C-alpha cells in the first residue's frame, strides 16, 4: 500500500516552514517539495502567496502532521485548505514532485 499524502496549503512561505516543522515534530512523516501559487486575487489575501506543504507517511502520522501544521499556521497567517489522501494513485504521487518555487 502507498504511503498517505497530507496536503496543507497556507498563506506565506515563512508560515509554511513553521507549519512543516510542527508537522514533522508531531509525527513520523517526511516532506515532499513545497509548491506555491499566487492566485488572481492575491492583493486581497492576508499574504499574496499560497504555499502547499506535502507530508508523507502512514495515515495516522500524516493526519497528526496536518493537524499540528494547521494549528501552527492558524497562529500566524492562516490555513487555506487541507486534505489527507490515504491511498494515493501512482499519478498523484508523481504530481507531488511538481514545484513552482524554483520558478519566477
Tell me the pLDDT of the chain (104 aa) as tens digits. Answer: 679 999 999 999 999 999 999 999 999 999 999 999 887 787 887 778 899 999 999 999 999 999 999 999 999 999 999 999 999 999 999 999 888 877 65
* Number of domains into which the chain is organized: 1
Report yes or no on 14 lying in a domain: yes
Residue-wise DSSP of 4-59:
EEEEEEEESHHHHHHHHHHHHHHSS-EEPPPEEE--TTGGGSSSS-EEEEEEEE-H
Show the domain range for 77. 4-95
- Domain containing residue 86: CATH number: 3.30.70.1710
Tell me the whole-structure pTM to 2 decimals. Answer: 0.91
Locate all alpha helices (DSSP H) within the chain, ordered by sequence: 13-26, 59-74, 90-95
Report yes or no on 103 lying in a domain: no
End-to-end C-alpha distance for the chain, whole angstroms: 36
Amino acid at each position: 500500500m502507498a504511503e498517505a499524502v497530507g496536503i496543507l496549503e497556507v498563506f506565506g512561505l515563512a508560515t509554511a516552514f513553521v507549519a512543516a516543522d510542527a508537522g514533522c515534530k508531531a509525527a513520523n512523516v517526511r516532506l515532499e517539495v513545497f509548491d506555491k501559487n499566487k492566485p488572481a486575487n492575491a492583493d486581497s489575501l492576508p499574504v499574496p502567496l499560497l504555499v502547499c506543504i506535502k507530508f508523507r507517511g502512514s495515515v495516522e502520522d500524516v493526519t497528526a502532521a496536518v493537524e499540528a501544521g494547521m494549528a501552527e499556521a492558524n497562529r500566524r497567517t492562516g490555513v487555506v485548505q487541507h486534505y489527507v489522501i490515504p491511498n494515493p494513485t501512482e499519478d498523484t504521487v508523481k504530481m507531488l514532485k511538481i514545484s513552482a518555487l524554483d520558478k519566477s
